[in-house]
Amino acid sequence: MMSAFRFFAVAAMTLALAAPAMARDPSRTRLLAAPNPSKAGQSVKLTAEVDGLGRGAPTGTVSFADGAVSLGSATLTFKGAGQATLATGFYHSCATTSGGGVKCWGKNNNGQLGDGTTTTRLVPVAVSGLASGAVAVAAGHDHSCALTSAGAVKCWGWNARGQLGDGTTVTRLTPVAVSGLASGVVAIAVGSLHSCALTSAGAVKCWGDNDFGALGDGTQTRRPAPVAVSGLASDVVAITAGGLHSCALTGAGAVKCWGNNFEGQLGDGTDADSLTPVAVSGLSSGVVAIAAGDGHTCALTSAGAVKCWGGNNAGQIGDGTTTARSAPVGVSGLSSNVVAIAVGDFHSCALTIASSAKCWGLNLFGQLGVGTTTNRSVPVSVSGLASGVAAIAAGGDHTCATTSAGVAKCWGWNSSGQLGDGTNASRRTPTLIPGFTTLVRARARLSTRAGAVGTHRLEASFPGDANHLRSSGPRALTVVK
């Protein structure tokens, strides 16, 4: 006869063997290299973006390799890594979901939500055909775009100026492919009436409205399909698009802008429009991120400082005044410890190294999130977002943020449901979007030296963690003499 002890021991072992380990969610790794192409021996910055497709941001380390040669490893962090996963337009908002799809909410008169209708939505709805595979999303005045994991760009919404890039001026209620951009794109940016893309070769292409030169091709001709930006065929690592202007960040950390300059938003010390890129005064190196609004622009330096320029009627430059600036000035109190920036029409925001959010500028509808409607000419802390913020986006007169847990909150103007909380009530402090989980992206960076002349197959490998399966991402790096 089996003893009671032996019976329970065998039973427990049987249960342990029969019970499967807790299932882990997939992960997705994308590797970026800049500058690309690079020169032999030149410093190359490798960035691995790892998405946990469920249960928050991946944790741990990423290993980098050039073929069979190890380049080293770096630790993942979610701080400031997910800016491309959240977008706010003038009357609508979009975000990548925890499953890697796209959902949008708010005004939909021109199909900018991409759900096949023109019905305004007070809560997030799925964008047709983009249930998975999206790595970035961007929102303009009445149109939106997404970047897929295959490096393709798709856009939807109003198209009277050719801003969807499909070669027509026909408004689209669901995503259409941008002409000539079926692969090879690593980043996108959307302005009020135009759009831009950054290729893996570091080139910039833009399309749509060009009345003030926002496409940077040296003309004022509207383009319903992408055209190359003059002088930016390589070495660009980031792009941004504002109301009627655009900017690019080079591998050397320099900023160049083009288009409308009525308020000094090009930053070259003048108010003259430019049909091709011009250098931003004092920013020839040391910049790591850029963001453009309706009539002002901001940059984040490698020291974690924020500088802005352009229109300043509501204090959106953040220097404590309402004086317009045609060249960059430092934002008060933000000389260090900032990891990401976002710029709306007339307000600006920053995400700190402590994962807290701060905003400044116009506050007529509570878009600064401080509980009042008083404009602020210096940064103020957003109520209830002192920690845990993963990404922030500033729109027309509203702002949204996501947390490290994938929770989304919005505040400000809500006339068309752009806050996504199921109402039309404007909010002066962050309000939860119920039942919606966004993608949380982690990022690891490594600097290395470019090898011998030729094409190198780089790879970033994420080994997985307690909640996510392993994944890897390749990137071809061209090395020239």
56 falls in which pLDDT band (50, 70, 90)?
Answer: confident
pLDDT of residue 7: 34
Give me the phi and psi of 463, to 5 degrees please: -75, -5
355-384 average pLDDT score: 98
Query: How does pLDDT run across 150-176, given as a tens digit for each residue?
Result: 999 999 999 999 999 999 999 999 999
**Are the C-beta atoms of residues 178 and 164 closer than 8 Å to each other?**
yes
283-298 average pLDDT score: 98
pLDDT of residue 2: 31
Query: How does pLDDT run across 423-437, given as a tens digit for each residue?
Result: 999 999 999 999 999
Q: Whole-angstrom Cα distance, residue 439 to residue 314?
A: 33
287 falls in which pLDDT band (50, 70, 90)?
Answer: very high
Specify the higher pLDDT residue, 54 or 200. Answer: 200
User: In CATH, what is the architecture of 83-440?
Assistant: 7 Propeller (2.130)
Pairing of strands 427-437, 172-177: unpaired
Q: Is the predicted pLDDT of residue 378 greater than 70, yes or no?
A: yes
Query: How does pLDDT run across 402-413, given as a tens digit for each residue?
Result: 999 999 999 999
Output the CA torsion 75→443→351→307 (10° steps).
100
Query: How does pLDDT run across 217-264, given as a tens digit for each residue?
Result: 999 999 999 999 999 999 999 999 999 999 999 999 999 999 999 999
Across the chain, which distance is largest between two alpha carbons, in Å?
A: 96
User: CATH assignment of 27-78+442-480?
Assistant: 2.60.40.10
55 falls in which pLDDT band (50, 70, 90)?
Answer: confident
Q: Is the predicted pLDDT of residue 445 greater than 70, yes or no?
A: yes
pLDDT of residue 22: 67
Q: Whole-angstrom Cα distance, residue 435 to residue 94?
A: 15
Q: Is the predicted pLDDT of residue 392 greater than 80, yes or no?
A: yes
Q: Is the pTM of this model over 0.85?
A: yes
**Alpha carbon of 445 to those of 21, 47, 176, 243, 355: distances in Å?**
32, 5, 33, 31, 18
Closest CA to 303 of 313, 317, 314, 288: 288
Q: Is the predicted pLDDT of residue 8 greater than 90, yes or no?
A: no
pLDDT of residue 69: 96
Give me the phi and psi of 340, to 5 degrees please: -160, 155
286-303 average pLDDT score: 98
362 falls in which pLDDT band (50, 70, 90)?
Answer: very high
76-97 average pLDDT score: 96
Q: Whole-angstrom Cα distance, residue 53 to residue 26?
A: 5
193-211 average pLDDT score: 98
341-360 average pLDDT score: 98
Domain edges within the chain: 27-78+442-480, 83-440
459-473 average pLDDT score: 97
pLDDT of residue 377: 98
pLDDT of residue 4: 37
Q: Compute the mean pLDDT over every residue in the chain, rounded to the nearest whole number.
A: 94
